[in-house]
Every structure is written in C-alpha cells, then in structure tokens.
Structure 1
C-alpha cells in the first residue's frame, strides 16, 4: 500500500473515533446537567446547555488560526497530536465535573486545544498525490461524517446502560487511541529548518497573507455559508417532524432518523464526488453540488409527509458530500507551500463561525418566517453561494499555486 494510503486509513479511523467520541455527549447533555444538581423547573437548563455546547465553537473559532500558524512552522503531525491528546484529557475530566460551570470551563478549554480534524486535513493534503487529492480528502471526510452519525446513537445507548459519566471516560479513551495510532503510524515529510527560517508573522499578518491568495476569499465565504445554511435548520428539524407526524408513537426515533439520513448519504457520496473532482475539477464539483443542495433544500419547505422529507434529506446529503471536501481540495491547490496550516486554520474558523451562527439565527428566524421559511432561506443561500463559486472559481479560474483542478 502506498504510504499516503496507509496514512489515509489511519487518519480516517482517527477522524471516525474523534467525531464519534465528541458527539456521544449530544443526546444527554441536558440530562447530565440535571445529574449535576440543576432543577429543570427552577434552573435555566436549556440556557446552560446552549452556552456549554457553543463554548467549544467560540474558542475553536478564535484559536484555530494560532494553531495553523504553528503548524506551518513546526509541522502538522505535532499539531494533530497536541489536539488529540489534549482533548482526551479534557473530555476525561468532564466525567468528574460537579457543577455546570465546571463543564462550561472544560468545553471552552476543549475548543482552545481542538483541531484534530483540520490538522488531519492539512496533513493529508500535503501527503496525497495531486491527482488523488479530491478522493483522499473526500474519503477522509466520510470518516468524520460516519463518526458524527453513529456517535449520538452510541452515546444514547451507552448512557441508558451505564449512566452519563462513563461516556466521558470512554470518549477520552477513544481520543487517546486515535492520537496514539496517528503518533505511531502516520508519517510526515516536513522540513522544519526551512520552515523556521521563514520570517515569523502575526495571526493578523497571516490572515492578510492568506486572503491575498485570489481564490481564498471565495473559498472561506463558501465554507461559512455552507455551514450556516446547513445548520440553520437543525434546531427546528425535530419540531418540523412533529408538525408532519403529529404526537404519535416513535416521534423521537423519526426525528433522529430524519436528522441522520443526510449524514448517511453524505458518507457515501464524499469519496465518489472527491474522485469526480480529481477528473473534472473540484471547483466545478463544488459549484454543481451547491446548486444541487439548494434544489434539495427548498422542496423541504413544501413536503406534507415524512417520507417526502426523508427523500429530500437523502438527496441533500448526496450533494453535501461534494461541498467541504471540494473546498478543502481547492484550499490546498491554491495555497503556496508553507502556508497550508494557516489556510486550513482560517477555513476551520469560517466553518466554526457558521456552526455558531447557523443554528442560533435559524432558530430565532423560525418564529418570524416560520419553520418552512427557514428551509427556503437555507436553499436561497446555497443557490447564491453556488452563483458566487461559479463566478469566482470557475469562470474567472484564478491560477493555482500547485496546478489547477
């Protein structure tokens, strides 16, 4: 097996373990707060659950550029190990929390040290052959998506059987295993002396340097709008399922199934669309996938049956498989050597910003424009994003630092 494929296999497993471990806590976060002594009738548990969940994204948004700059000077593998082992310790400590604010502080710290996924992407982008990069990054994406899908399911089942605290211990163990595998198996060719000889620049100077790359503003904008549009509907999806299905049996199961079906199709499509990007260009795949995602999003506003919503969500997931992997491929192709870590870190910050603002604004707008209106809004944003990508990345065709795709 070529070395890049061995690295891809290990990093795929690492992303799966990290994302499944990190999402295991999602189904029972509010319930864990009750175990910590909060009263659902007198304490604002939903508020605490919200800020505890968001705390991770806030600090991740702020600190990713710092870690990206260090990755360009010291290597991507060391940043991956820093993040993996750091998160393993912090998540383990969450199982010992005694107060809600303990959990909040640990989630904030987790965001500070996070970065396993972007470090994996950055590392893989420097290892994979140029003509296989779309396939490699698409396959890597499927590992994270698989973990995101199965994590909440495993977490809910384990919480039922063993309680809440052991899940944090297990999650910390999974993160430790993923990091150890990467430490032992993954190899990186990195000339540290050459990297250290380059002038040291501040985060702001690095941002201006990255944004001076002609394609980068369009790519970071695409990343933010993709996450914003996709996640704007997540808080209202269970309510929409209830609206369609009524207060009948198996409502929780149906809500979970509808929420995860897009992830399954995304996992299937990511490697396939990545391979297609290697053949026809990741910029074209990104433009087509955004248009397709818009066409799959808007009909969700007009469905009247659960099965119709499931079909729309499945189609949406297929097109989603061509979004973030294509952006990641294009980031590498347009970024000069030595700036990959910074470029991916700013792209991750754009993603984290979309993760923060999408659910918040989408949930707020639902009371104003209605649940169905939020689906229309997301589709319109994706369509506008598609037009922007076609204009900036296909028709203008900015020159790439290392070939074009």
Structure 2
C-alpha cells in the first residue's frame, strides 16, 4: 500500500497521497476534512455520477447543482457564480470523460469567495491543464481505480493534497479514527496501543488492491496512447453522420481519454437514445450512458426540489449521450466492429431528408445521399 502511494505521489508530484477503498470514500473524507457541516452548501455539476453529490450529503451538506457547458460537458464557471450564496463552502469540479475543467476560472472564483476546491478526478488520472496535473489545482484531488477506470485495482481510490493537516486527518478517518500507525498494531515488533481520536470509517485500501496498482501504474502512458488512437479513429469515422463527436482537446491540455461520448442528432434520426442503446446491445457492442443528469433522478427531486427545465445543457446531453467502448485492450477488429455497428444503425434510421455537417457548414440532403457515404 505504501509503495503504491509513493509511486502515485511521484506521478502527481504532490506531497501527500492517501490510498483508499474508492473515489467515493475519497470525496466523502474530503468533505469532512474541509469541515462541511449541516447547512453548508457545496456546488457540484448535475452532469456527474451520484457519488459526487452523495459525498456532500453524507457529510451533512447540501449539494447545489450547476449546469455544464454544452460542448465540453464540464461544469460551467458562469453557473458556479450564479449558485454562490453565503452558505457556499466549496466547489467540486468533475473532469468529465477525461477533459479537465476550466481550472483557471474556477480557482479565481474560489479565491474571490474563499471557497475550498475538491477535484473529482475519477475520469482523469492522466489529465493535465496548462502544465499542471489533474488534482493539483484544488485543496484535494480524488481519483478512482474502479474496474472501468484507466488504471484499476478492482476497487480503490486515492486522495492527493499538499496540505499536511488534511492528509493527517484523512489518514486517521480512513481507518476507524485510530491514532497514527494503528495499522501496524499487530506487527513483528509487538503489539501497539492506539487511541480512537475520530468516529472514523473503514475506507482503507488493501495491500492486495495496491499490488494491482503497482503493476498498472507504469503502464499508464501505454494505455493512454492506445485510447487516444481509438478516440481519434472514432472521431474520423463519425465526422459526417448525424452524430456529434467530442470536441478536440483544448490547447495546452492533456485529455485523459477515459470516455468516448457520442451525442445523437435526434432531429435527423428516426431513433432515440435508448433505442440506439438497444440496437448496439443487439449487435453485442457494450455501451453506456454518462450520464442522466442528477437533477433528473427521483432522490434529488424529492429531497432538494430539483426538476426538469432547470439545467438545459445537462438535459440536452442527458437525452442524447451514448458512451462507446474505449479501452486499451480493444483490438483494431473490435474498434472496426463498433464503428460498423454505429454506421449500420444510423443508415437504417436516418430521416428521409436531414441536415448534415460538411466541414463547418450545414447542408440539407436526401437520405439516399447520406447513406451512400456511410460505407
């Protein structure tokens, strides 16, 4: 475990790394470490996984949702500003799909309003922005090594920080609140007494999990290069069909290429997103949805009063988004199978007349003209 922490500390060039059982645990402990209490508000994107918001709730705080940018799918700094109140204590930017948020603007907002920043880097282990690594902009950075992530420990997470006080508190909270080095109480040097100093949790990473990370981390760039290759193959293949492909990575940044998200052009297709998912599954292609925005889920509507219509960009994406397979283990044949499946479904479901992108211009064409270009 300590070896993996040391390796990740060197990779991220930070002072402190704490290995944990999950990224969810990392987010939860971050909330406690920065002092979130009942009544405090934390701004999170509605376009994210439930763990981001639930970590705030478990610490006693209230998640305040912000809309995302339609092109990047990342939290919109302008909407962050609109959501700040006297009760706001922190912001959790999520580097969606591997694309780092506009951290310059977010950190300027945090500084102006004296807010803490916890980066949710579950999608962005390799991400960089203007020469800095994901997770090093805010007070704390949370990472995931879940089985679907860019490197895996089956389950697992990591917190990074340059704040020694946060690091020490989180280490104690992660193992029942037991005093320092209690993990070694059954060591070869004899029994060590310990004290309970916090009502802590069982959030530690196991040595078995860490051993997987030790094996995986040296391969991270090789995996990244392969996912980048596949990402660009998809973009090239889908550029002239009624789908919106991810925009190019921003200058002076490094996209982690964790997800490849297509957006269906529903105005030009005789099929909705869920029907498209079913068609892909019928062709034995694994697909996902990242995500249905949190404010559209019943728990957040019933407990916090959110409803459809409040976050138009996130809702527009929620209705159209499909995640295609993106793994370093995909063969070229696998990638071709994915592309062929998408093309076939589009060919069978394109409207009789529609507008398609040609370069930067929209042109209207007949169905026969579009389908003839699909193969």
Q: What is the TM-score when the length of structure 2 is the normalising length?
A: 0.29
Say which structure, 1 or 2, has more relative contact order (CA 8 Å, 6+ apart): 1
Q: What is the TM-score when the length of structure 1 is the normalising length?
A: 0.28
Name the structure where helix makes up a greater proportion of residues: 1
Structure number with larger C-alpha Rg? 2
Name the structure where strand makes up a greater proportion of residues: 2
